[in-house]
Structure formats: C-alpha cells, structure tokens
Copies of this chain bind each other. A is one copy, B any other.
Amino acid sequence: MQINSHPGELTMINIISQPRIRNDTMDTLSSRIQNGDVPAVCRSCEARHGGVCSALTPAQLVELSKHSSRRTIDAGTEFIGQGESISSYSNILKGVVKLSKVMADGRQQIVGLQFAPDFMGRPFLGESRMAAEAAIDTEICVFPRRAIERLIAETPGLEHLLHSQALKELDEARDWMLTLGRKTAQEKVASFLALIASHSDPEAEEKSMFELPLSRADIADFLGLTIETVSRQMTKLRKEGIIQIENNRHVTVPDLGRLVAAAGND
C-alpha cells in the first residue's frame, strides 16, 4: 500500500481547524440541508452534493465523519491491489482514478475511469476484482467498510444512490465494450478524447480544451492498443485538424461534432 498522507490533512479532526473554502457557493447549492448541523469538514466538500453523502442526514454525516479521513494520493500510486481484501470505501473529491485488470503475463486493461464525486468500492464483496490507481494527483475521503454497510441498511436513499451509480457505470462499461470490440484505432482514440472532453467540460457544445488525465501508456491500456498506435492516431487527428495538441497533455478540440463523428457515434 502506498498511500501518501499529508501532515495536517490526514484526519478529519485536523481539517476542522482549517478555514472554510468557498462556503458561500456551497450554502447556495444546498438550501435543503441545515448547515448548522453538518460537520465543518463536510461543508466545503463537493461530494456532499453529488456523492454518497448527499443521501445522508446531518446526524448521519456527523457520525460518518468521525470514522472517515481524507487522503491525498500522488499520480501513479496504486492504492487498492487486484485481489486485495477491501476494508474501506471512498469518495473521490478531486482527481481521476483508473481501475484496471492485469493478466498473469502482464497484459493490462483499464476497465473504468472514475472522476469526482464518484463513489469507489464494490459493495457486498470482500475482495477487489481490480486495482485502483490515481491517474493524476487525487484526493479521496475514506470510510470504513463497516460504517457504510450499516448506513446502507438503514438508509434506503443511500442504496438507491449507489444502485444508480452502478447502473451508470454499467452503461459506460457496455459503451466501452462496443469501442473495444468493434472500433478502429482512430475511432478508439477519438472516442477517448470525446469521453474526456465530456467530463472536463460537460456543457460545451462546440469547442473544448482540456488536460488529458492519462499518459499515452494509460490511454493505450484503456483502448486495448499500443503506445505507438495511440501516438500515430493522435498525430493523424491533429493533421486532419480535428484536434490541436499543445503540451502532449493539453488538447484543444475546435469542433466537438467532428470529433464525435470521427469516434463513430453519428
């Protein structure tokens, strides 16, 4: 296990003494929650609105926050191993996590990308069927397995929320199966870029600019290709004017429509 905990940010208790950040906006968004009762740590937390915590009452938040802790995970560090037993769940607060499977001989496939404020963990199963690794610097809020499972049992809304997320991930996985099984290399790369664009800039209609959260090697593992093929297809898309590449990681898409067409989704 290679979790990096920054001093003064590891536990909830330490964070409580920090100044609240962006509190005004949060209050606006969460008119239905009584902020006075919500733990201070949670008040500035994104996950309280989109993540698991949005299904909890203030009293439950208080209880859960006693057992949870924030962690910062550096890019490239694996924090759950394939086949490892699971003793905790977590919420992604910031960053991107890749879920991957490895074969005995080392062949690897990324089977999912998770963004904030996704919930991570496989409920009702003792061990992880894949590895989780931070693709870029990432912050998560970790809950002990026991606490979450108790909350699920007593809060139907929470199970509904996790069920919805599982269905969303299932839809994504099946979309990706079509990409892996039937698309050409160019379509695969375009599909990946379209996926990232839609996540980093959900309401963009035409133009989009973003930082790729994955290296070429990661992209290859996500698309079932090699690094070289990914690179060639990126240059091909660039020469066709569908994308512009600044710093290897920074991509501009002048016309999302053309990108989506190149991805084979017409």
Contact = CB atoms under 8 A, between A and B. Distances in A.
Interface stretch (A6-14, A53-61, A164-172, A242-250): A164-172
Contacts of A170: 166, 169-170, 173
Interface of A: 99, 101, 103-105, 107-109, 111-112, 122-125, 129-130, 156, 159-160, 162-164, 166-167, 169-171, 173-178, 180-183, 223-224, 264, 266
Contact of A181 (B122, B178, B223): B223
Nearest to A225: B181
Contacts of A223: 181
Nearest to A105: B264
A138 B161 CA distance: 32
A104 B103 CA distance: 33
A123 B124 CA distance: 20
Contact of A224 (B111, B164, B182): B182
A122 B180 CA distance: 22
A116 to B, nearest CB: 20
Contacts of A112: 174
Contact of A124 (B167, B178, B183, B224): B167
Contacts of A123: 163, 167
A232 to B, nearest CB: 18
A108, A111, A164: which has the most chain B beta carbons within 10 Å? A111
B167 A109 contact: no
A111 B162 contact: no
A227 B107 CA distance: 25
A141 B174 CA distance: 25
Given A103-B264, A109-B182, A182-B224, 19 more contacts: A101-B174, A103-B178, A107-B182, A109-B177, A109-B181, A112-B174, A122-B167, A122-B171, A125-B167, A129-B171, A156-B156, A159-B159, A166-B166, A166-B167, A166-B170, A170-B170, A173-B173, A173-B177, A180-B181
